[in-house]
Structure 1
């Protein structure tokens, strides 16, 4: 660690004020090949709309204890925390990190405003590192594309083509181009060979906007697929804007590869492994990496959700390969960490995912092939660890809650998240965010007992503890069981008459869900295309051009 940054990270003690790091110091530190995590503790909409540091991740203060263990698993990782600049959120987040055991924590001086004032690029949007990379890929490698009007004409004429949707299957179910197959991006090289009748078949890859269309098409080109491969220009946004319909609530998932298709997939991946130096680990090598506590290790299972739940390595996290590339900031906070991608023994999906992560800037990316005969596997969904979980406060029954609400003796705050709140909440509940718990909440309670409800029991306990710090433990209780317990008692949830104690900026709405959808489409596409110009101005990051595929 340089002397400059050593002073920032190494001199504080848990009882001293959190140290600071300037924007220029952080920019220098990000150029060094050592671990560091940079987190924005504002709510997601503020991270997206108000601008952020490109190489940071959104980790809202409201969710910090729930998410931080997965995102920053090693407690010795140097962590830089920031907010808008004068919110007080960064100080609270840094102190909380220290309380739960993180030992190298610093505040970015003046937050994102300090970064901007120092002359560095500030980016709006979500998953921006991945999306900026997609624009770089299109410009560097000339990924071909096709406009929606030409695709529609070809489809209407029954031309020899196949449309492959590179998003995840849930997104595909919501809407898709008629006739398209659901083939999430990491599955493309694995499943494509049985979907193309001949080498003359045109292959069109689409997504909702641009990035996964570009990355999916270029993935097939990189693996040497002999067909003509193109990205649908501006994805389903352009398709809709051109006046063409979409299917909804529709499944058309590409099947697993046949024996012949698998052999083609394996042959296509071999040159890619050589080109990017992708190392496949055996069990002893994986165990050695997991035992090394001096480095951060992310263990991601890139298979389908069903495969993961049928059996996965303990402590591995399901991160479908295409989504991991699309949204690295959802899974990886620590720069220069080691990444192991778990797949089946064929390793096609892990190899294509590794090739993109390496190009994105992660240097130590490995693959591992599960062996059900020798690997001890767990069944079911991913397990998440919440750090710093306080003792459960006193709880209340559904009957007591109903009685207290009817008598106006209880003030109920729902911390489930704005989307869940809109979907259904207990009548009289006010939507609230942990990051904004302050005197205003006590004023809103107007002397009544405060009751906390949240779909996540851990979040309910955390919110109750935050309130207890300012109101006293005897003033706060939780409703155990939350909305399900309310319904089980014979009561109904409410979807109207929302009471917004706090603004719903914990989520960012996709352009597809904006009131002026087509206007939002144009704004989004213009923003995404413009990322390449921001990259050219940005002195803190650059992507490597690996040249044309072999």
Structure 2
């Protein structure tokens, strides 16, 4: 095992070379305290997440944790799959802090800090919740556009709002608000996607007045107003009538930000270059990606890519190629990535988007496992034959619905006392992580282990009953998911205030960190 100290790691972060800084803790643990540029890569999902984050295994890697040995476990596993330049930060986050460097809480911190920088830099206008409420009640000519995912919108939304995820805004605004006198209000749950969505429309140069809802749905509820729940109002699918105008706007913003364009032949050359890491990301809506995409690309819807860049891009200073069908969404996303500090960002032109092949699964899935179907499991549970269901879904999703009587667990924290000597059926949303956990459950002494065929999704699709309980697991046990204020069971209002203050303060914290430089990079990317 190769160790480096904090001073060496900080030098690596700022030397301009490729670096993957992976935190081996689960997402909830990671969110409590971590390095600014660290990427969560918890052991429970390493087979899938690490391969997505590390398309080139010879890249320089440093693993980090809080000193418990998880970083060593991740580093050792990475070496078994072919990583050749792996190091561990000696002493973990404690050593980083002891060296006088800054630690951050929260998740998607680089993107959220960038959102705050954008607001300060561009002077993004905003409106507070009571004023927006008054506008709605007055019948003012306006549209309220929710820039989060469709699922988040359905969970809770501003009255009269419609779902237009951030990457779709500049593409579809001409159809949604053709009258230049229509006011456009953009919201999210907190701040980042409200700011980025509103500023995307402003950077695109639309004639309408555009404002962000200050503090999003959190600010709405803190003002004593009530969010809608269960609504599905959304943009019309398909190519907008005004797509040609949207392309002109996106081209101007991309050119201003120094975005490069490449051909399929140049992309092939990038793919053959063994000395550089390459990400090929399709920024369209997930339904469009599923219907047909560039072979070898991954779906990263544009607004979410900018909001949570570390979900898809795990290597600093890598090459990034964005793909879509008309060039609008790719250019808007690429422009923001350039301003975030990513140097080599390109838009692919002339791509063939016809592949429907799913992403290649982890090689570990090739191992043989025993399956049980939904009717058989239901019969065994009804007969109380001693079968124990272990559910590896995210804690937040387990709360929303699970097989009655199931035990919730995280792969890296499975307990021997829960499984030893028992007949186990393991499940996860689509059975993927359930299959990966079989050897671990057997090693813990389970008498037998079967995987629920199709996972919990198949159980629900078959009309079987589900149990729901917001208190199980309790907040303090959700180590696999960084709970948002409205996910908590107590202290929600205080958590909202704390979260919003944290976001606002990120601008000052990154100055203290000293490794962060937002803005258009000095050099334009070169395709050759």
Q: Would you say same fold, with TM above 0.5? A: yes
Distance 1:142 1:499 in 2: 43
Greater mean alpha carbon deviation, residues 26-35 or residues 447-456: 447-456
User: Do structure 1's residue 477 and structure 2's residue 449 form an aligned pair?
Assistant: yes
User: Do structure 1's residue 312 and structure 2's residue 287 form an aligned pair?
Assistant: no
Segments of 5+ residues of structure 1 without an aligned counterpart are 1-17
- What pairs with 1:25-424 in structure 2 (closer than 5 Å)? 25-48=8-31, 50-85=32-67, 87-255=68-236, 258-259=240-241, 261-344=242-325, 346-369=326-349, 375=352, 377-379=354-356, 382-389=358-365, 391-394=367-370, 412-424=389-401
Label 1:230 to 1:414 Cα distance change in 2 as closer, same or farther (>3 A).
closer
Distance 2:154 2:37 in 1: 32
TM (norm. structure 1) is 0.85
Q: Quote the residue 1:4 is aligned against.
A: none
Shift of 1:488: 9.6
Shift of 1:245: 3.0
Contact 1:340-1:366 within 8 A present in 2 as well: yes
Distance 1:303 1:497 in 2: 33
Contact 1:70-1:384 within 8 A present in 2 as well: no
Distance 1:29 1:165 in 2: 39
Shift of 1:78: 1.6
Contact 1:342-1:370 within 8 A present in 2 as well: no
Q: Quote the residue 2:509 is aligned against.
A: 534
Contact 2:340-2:520 within 8 A present in 1 as well: no
Contact 1:70-1:385 within 8 A present in 2 as well: no
Distance 1:490 1:198 in 2: 46
- Cα-to-partner distance string for 1:122-169 (whole Å, 9 max, x where unaligned): 111111110011111111222121222222222222333332222222
Contact 1:69-1:387 within 8 A present in 2 as well: no
Shift of 1:431: 2.1
- Cα-to-partner distance string for 1:157-203 (whole Å, 9 max, x where unaligned): 23333322222222222222222232222222211123335433332
Label 1:450 to 1:306 Cα distance change in 2 as closer, same or farther (>3 A).
closer
- What pairs with 1:399-548 in structure 2 (closer than 5 Å)? 412-437=389-414, 441-445=415-419, 447-448=421-422, 452-469=426-443, 471=445, 475-481=447-453, 482-483=455-456, 493-495=466-468, 503-515=477-489, 516-544=491-519
Contact 1:311-1:379 within 8 A present in 2 as well: yes
Distance 1:258 1:490 in 2: 37
TM (norm. structure 2) is 0.89
Q: Secondary structure at the match of 1:335?
A: coil
Shift of 1:226: 2.7
Contact 1:483-1:493 within 8 A present in 2 as well: no
Q: Quote the residue 1:5 is aligned against.
A: none
Label 1:320 to 1:448 Cα distance change in 2 as closer, same or farther (>3 A).
closer
Shift of 1:225: 2.1
Q: Secondary structure at the match of 2:320?
A: strand
Distance 2:470 2:132 in 1: 45
Distance 1:153 1:243 in 2: 13
Q: Secondary structure at the match of 2:477?
A: coil
Contact 2:264-2:350 within 8 A present in 1 as well: no
Greater mean alpha carbon deviation, residues 304-313 or residues 352-361: 304-313
- Cα-to-partner distance string for 1:514-548 (whole Å, 9 max, x where unaligned): 2343222211111111111101211122213689x
Label 1:432 to 1:153 Cα distance change in 2 as closer, same or farther (>3 A).
closer
Distance 2:461 2:69 in 1: 40
Shift of 1:405: 9.9
Shift of 1:252: 2.8
Look at both structures and tell me which one has the larger radius of gyration over its CA atoms. 1
Label 1:296 to 1:201 Cα distance change in 2 as closer, same or farther (>3 A).
same
Q: Secondary structure at the match of 2:221?
A: helix
CA RMSD of aligned residues (A): 3.0
Q: How many residues align?
A: 517
Segments of 5+ residues of structure 2 without an aligned counterpart are 523-528
Distance 2:79 2:194 in 1: 41
Q: Quote the residue 2:526 is aligned against.
A: none
Distance 2:257 2:39 in 1: 26
Q: Quote the residue 1:14 is aligned against.
A: none
